[in-house]
Amino acid sequence: MKLLAIETATESCSAALLDNNEIFSINEVAPRRHNEIILSMCEQVLAQGQTSLSQLDAIAFGRGPGAFTGVRLAASVTQGIALGQDLPVVPVSSLAALAQSAFESVQATQVLSCIDARMQEVYIGQYKFNVHKIMELVGEEKVTPPNMVNEEVNDKCYGVGSGWKTYARVLQETMGKKLSYDEELYPQAEHVAKLANVYFQQDNSVSAVEALPVYLRDNVAKKPKNKMVF
């Protein structure tokens, strides 16, 4: 199984190549430069794995939620490669990739992923570790003011993402729990690849034209002055 993955939904831009059990990845926190570097990153990981686009079995991307321009970029680059190579596409939630990073870094088995959505809102989703050794969504992902978060979590739940940097105190007060968290973790392509590998084996892939971004905020395209740009 050879799978290329990209993730550009937040300040961090990354690409990864999964080649069976081996992963080659590159990432950079590069606000406003994702469109300049993502294709080069893809070329670099393919070169590291001595793999050409024609040898790929699928391509995966972080489908959001996240920055409007970043999520749109990931979808468009993915569609271009998938159409050119006639590849199936595996969309992966950026919140799920964030949760997977928490498991990989601290072995957290219950995670509350939270990305700052600006405009006094957060993108949030609760995840738990499942039998396939990946993080699985509990309930639904949503965009909400931080003081309206109503997730039921235990004391061992681990928080990750930029939303914790801005709203940790509000989130803890709202849920009535003092959780450990890491505000510096970002969704990364290597975790998109790991999730996509399982999804692909479960036949959860789509065609290039169906590889669409997920914004959660319905009116994001109507508010260009407030949109997140990385």
State the pLDDT at residue 221. 42
Q: Could you report how far apart the first and last alpha carbons of the chain are, in Å?
A: 31
State the pLDDT at residue 21. 87
State the pLDDT at residue 78. 98
Helix (H, G, I), strand (E, B) or coil at 35: helix
- pLDDT score of 203 more than 60: yes
In this prediction the pTM is: 0.93
The domain defined by 2-93+187-222 carries CATH number 3.40.50.300? no
φ and ψ of 83, to 5 deg: -65, -40
**What are 16-36's pLDDT values in tens digits?**
999 998 999 999 999 889 999
**What are 178-189's pLDDT values in tens digits?**
999 999 999 999
Report the candidate in 40, 89, 42 with the shortest Cα–Cα distance to residue 204. Answer: 89
The domain defined by 94-182 carries CATH number 3.30.420.40? yes
Locate the domains of the chain by residue range.
2-93+187-222, 94-182
**What are 38-80's pLDDT values in tens digits?**
999 999 999 999 999 999 999 999 999 999 999 999 999 999 9
2-93+187-222 shares its CATH topology with 94-182: yes
